[in-house]
């Protein structure tokens, strides 16, 4: 492989496609965790949403209906998590895991019952998928050297949900740091007692945070089954929810650093697809096993060396009890 400008751009392009679901899920986790509710159930919510999106897109023939259903299902699962861990003060990790396990089994089982395709849902037909969008003027701008290529290869030509993910980052940052809701959200995760004293319901705040989590996870799940892929397959999230959670912690529970962490994970993933079977000057071919371990090695190295201490929201994992 020649390490040209174009191949670097195509690598970035692939990074963006792989990062989009991670970014959405990490931002989803940010709402929940900033409000003091550990959300290990991102994986399950994404998987549930992916399943719902595939089923509805296939039966109605509309990707938008699929997206809507994905969000509904994901929010519903978030509410179950909230009911167990906020209202009934159950253990948040246990409740999250329960959602993951339930969805992992329920999706393929229902798919079997409804479609008889061995736990899969295939999405076929026009309009059932979010297709790549060519941004305006791509042919005109494409003629400009360097910048034009960047515009055509990297920025243009993704599906709608990728742009949603990109816009979600500044939006979430604005909500968390610049709005009244954001201030209360952060406060309820740090010191719920103080928020309660100010006359704001901790329970309601946390439920609202989980609702935001549900919406973002729903979009992430729909991305998997009706934008990036065509259909739902067993365990198609493949640990992405956990990876997003890791990115969130990596990014110290802040939107922009979490975005960078997601991009890093996606970049190593994209890189390993391109490093396989390539002769590196002076080294020769790297064994596939070593290349596939690369993202994880890099993560450990960065976590150990460069990130420094990650301080979680103070009240995270603790159910709020009014009277002690």
For residue 132, give the 3-state DSSP assignment.
strand
Taking CB under 8 A as the criterion, the residue among 7, 139, 179, 318 binding other proteins is 7
Q: Which of 76, 234, 242, 294 binds other proteins (CB under 8 A)?
A: 234
Cβ(175)–Cβ(182) below 8 Å: yes
Q: Nearest distance from residue 306's CB to other proteins, in Å?
A: 27
Query: What CA–CA distances, in Å, run from 248 to 33, 130, 153, 252, 294?
Result: 9, 27, 28, 6, 20
Q: Which stretch binds other proteins (CB under 8 A): 167-175, 189-197, 224-232, 314-322?
A: 224-232
**Token output for 307:** 């990130």
Our finding on whether 17 is near other proteins (CB under 8 A) is: yes
61 binds other proteins (CB under 8 A): no
**Interface segment toward other proteins; rule CB under 8 A; list 6-14, 68-76, 160-168, 314-322:** 6-14
Q: By CB under 8 A, is residue 276 in contact with other proteins?
A: yes
Give the span between the Cα atoms of 199 and 203, in whole angstroms. Answer: 12
Q: Closest distance between other proteins and the C-beta of residue 308, in Å?
A: 32
Give backbone dihedrals phi and psi of 133, rounded to 5 degrees, phi first. -110, 130
Task: Report whether 48 contacts 271 (CB < 8 A).
Answer: no
CA 126 to chain centre: 26
Which segment (144-152, 180-188, 199-207, 228-236) binds other proteins by CB under 8 A? 228-236
Q: Give the residue among 23, 49, 18, 44 at the shortest CA–CA distance from 219.
A: 49
Scanning residues 103 to 132, which ones bind other proteins (CB under 8 A)? 104-105, 109, 117-120, 132
**Residue 8 interacts with other proteins (CB under 8 A): yes or no:** no
| Nearest CA among 246, 256, 264 for reference residue 310 | 246
Min separation Cβ 261 and other proteins, Å? 20
Does 138 interact with other proteins (rule: CB under 8 A)? no
Pairing state between β 121-122 and 284-285: unpaired
Q: Which is nearer to other proteins, 42 or 224 (CB)?
A: 224
Per the DSSP assignment, residues forming a β-bridge with 132 are 159
Residues in contact with other proteins by the rule CB under 8 A: 1, 7, 10, 14, 17-18, 101, 104-105, 109, 117-120, 132, 224, 228-231, 233-236, 238, 269-270, 273-274, 276-277, 288-289, 292
């Amino acid at each position: 492989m020649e390490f040209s400008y174009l191949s670097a751009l195509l690598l970035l392009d692939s990074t963006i496609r792989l990062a989009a679901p991670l970014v959405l899920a990490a931002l989803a986790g940010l709402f929940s965790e900033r409000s003091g509710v550990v959300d290990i159930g991102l994986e399950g919510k994404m998987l549930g949403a992916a399943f719902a999106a595939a089923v509805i897109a296939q039966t109605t023939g509309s990707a938008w209906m699929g997206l809507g259903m994905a969000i509904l299902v994901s929010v519903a699962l978030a509410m179950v998590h909230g009911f167990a861990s906020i209202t009934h003060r159950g253990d948040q990790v246990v409740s999250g895991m329960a959602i993951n396990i339930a969805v992992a089994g329920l999706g393929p089982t229902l798919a079997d019952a409804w479609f008889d395709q061995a736990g899969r849902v295939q999405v076929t037909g026009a309009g059932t998928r979010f297709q790549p969008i060519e941004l305006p003027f791509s042919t005109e701008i494409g003629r400009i050297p360097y910048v034009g290529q960047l515009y055509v290869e990297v920025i243009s030509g993704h599906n709608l949900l990728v742009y949603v993910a990109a816009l979600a980052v500044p939006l979430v940052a604005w909500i968390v740091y610049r709005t009244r809701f954001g201030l209360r959200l952060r406060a309820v995760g740090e010191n719920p007692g103080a928020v309660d004293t100010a006359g704001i319901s901790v329970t309601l705040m946390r439920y609202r945070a989980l609702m935001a989590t549900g919406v973002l996870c729903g979009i992430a799940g729909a991305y998997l089954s009706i934008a990036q892929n065509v259909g739902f397959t067993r365990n198609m999230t493949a640990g992405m929810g956990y990876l997003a959670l890791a990115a969130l912690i990596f990014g110290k529970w802040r939107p922009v650093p979490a975005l960078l962490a997601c991009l890093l994970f996606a970049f190593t993933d994209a890189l390993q697809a391109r490093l396989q079977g390539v002769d590196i000057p002076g080294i020769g071919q790297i064994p596939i096993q070593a290349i596939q371990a690369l993202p994880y090695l890099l993560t450990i190295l960065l976590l150990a060396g460069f990130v420094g201490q990650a301080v979680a929201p103070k009240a995270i994992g603790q159910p709020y009890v009014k009277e002690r």
